[in-house]
Amino acid sequence: MPKLDLSQLPWRTGSGYPGKLAEPCAGRSVQPLGDPGGLTQYGVNMVRLEPGAASSLRHYHMEQDEFVMVTEGICTLIDDDGAHEMMPGDCAAFPAGEENGHHLVNRSDKPAGFLVVGTRTPTETGYYSDLDMMVKFAGGDFTFTRKDGSPLTAEQTGEDT
Amino acid sequence: MPKLDLSQLPWRTGSGYPGKLAEPCAGRSVQPLGDPGGLTQYGVNMVRLEPGAASSLRHYHMEQDEFVMVTEGICTLIDDDGAHEMMPGDCAAFPAGEENGHHLVNRSDKPAGFLVVGTRTPTETGYYSDLDMMVKFAGGDFTFTRKDGSPLTAEQTGEDT
């Protein structure tokens, strides 16, 4: 039925970033809502950030619109213009192709959370503002490389390449 | 900047339904968030319902995914399966083409509100579950007719046709 039973929908903790690049998101948990609700045109997730955790590495999307609304606690939006505190009910919009890297960080000492919406597209490219890294999405898989397409270095990931 | 200043974004009250069909939504107000944020791939609106108001006439979409999260008060989701109370944080998903007409009604004595997301498509068809009415969207305009495409009757709208 359309109303979702949130108590029954699973959460996953952490991120898919390679090696030590995942550390900032170790305290991030995601609960998909759109997929279990049968939506295919955009994704909708609840995200919970433990104190100190980041929603992602600071990035922007080339093909997909993104929208967030804070639902719990205090999130700090970091973008090219600086840091912006966001309280429950506060919203932010990130149009596809706008090259203003962003993420939400929990700088408080209590859990924080937000709802995030992102368009589903067959392919996608994202760029990371504070790193020499990009992500390509195609065929259901994410591939992280340097911005020139070459492999990430062991120095970047802390892993043997 | 990506963070939206909600205090500066306008609300509009009522609906575009013809004639007396607009009455159930007279106490509905909508604040667009996605459009002023520069999003084009889906719409995001805050909706506020005064006691007794409905979000829309009960309907379903053929081409557009829809998602809602209650943000304030108590909303009652009415769909083909009955009435479902939704509290702040509760969510519902309505995949495109799923023929389960739905709307949210404020049956409480306090204001209620929700966030709603809907895909942007060049065309759209919606059907109303409790009426002989459909809506077509094309070229930026909405056209309401009976389900066979003939004009709504004066009995339906309370207006001369």
pLDDT of residue A4: 98
Q: Kindly tell me if the per-residue pLDDT of A161 is higher than 60.
A: no
Q: Kindly tell me if the per-residue pLDDT of A22 is higher than 90.
A: yes
Average pLDDT, chain A: 97
The sign of the dihedral angle between the CA atoms of B1, B3, B7, B10 is positive
Instruction: Write out the residues of chain A at the interface with chain B, using a CB-CB cutoff of 8 A.
Output: 1-4, 6, 33-34, 36-42, 44, 64-65, 67, 69, 71, 77, 79, 81, 84, 86, 89-96, 98, 100, 102, 115, 117, 119
CB contact under 8 A, A81 and B42: no
Q: Per residue in B17-34, pLDDT tens?
A: 999 999 999 999 999 999
What is the band of A160 on the pLDDT scale with cuts at 50, 70, 90? Answer: confident
What is the band of B161 on the pLDDT scale with cuts at 50, 70, 90? Answer: low
Give the residue from B60, B96, B51, B65 showing the smallest Cα distance to B78. Answer: B60
CA-based nearest residue in chain A for residue B60: A2
Radius of gyration, CA atoms only, chain A: 16
pLDDT of residue B152: 97
Rounded CA separation A41/B42 (Å): 9
pLDDT of residue A119: 98
CB contact under 8 A, A65 and B115: no
Residues in chain A, overall count: 161
Between chain A and chain B, the number of residue pairs with CB atoms below 8 A apart is 130
CA atoms within 13 A on the CB side of A65: 23
pLDDT of residue B160: 72
Q: Per residue in B78-115, pLDDT tens?
A: 999 999 999 999 999 999 999 999 999 999 999 999 99
Rounded CA separation A129/A135 (Å): 12
Q: Kindly tell me if the per-residue pLDDT of B128 is higher than 60.
A: yes
Residue A72 token pair: 């719990």
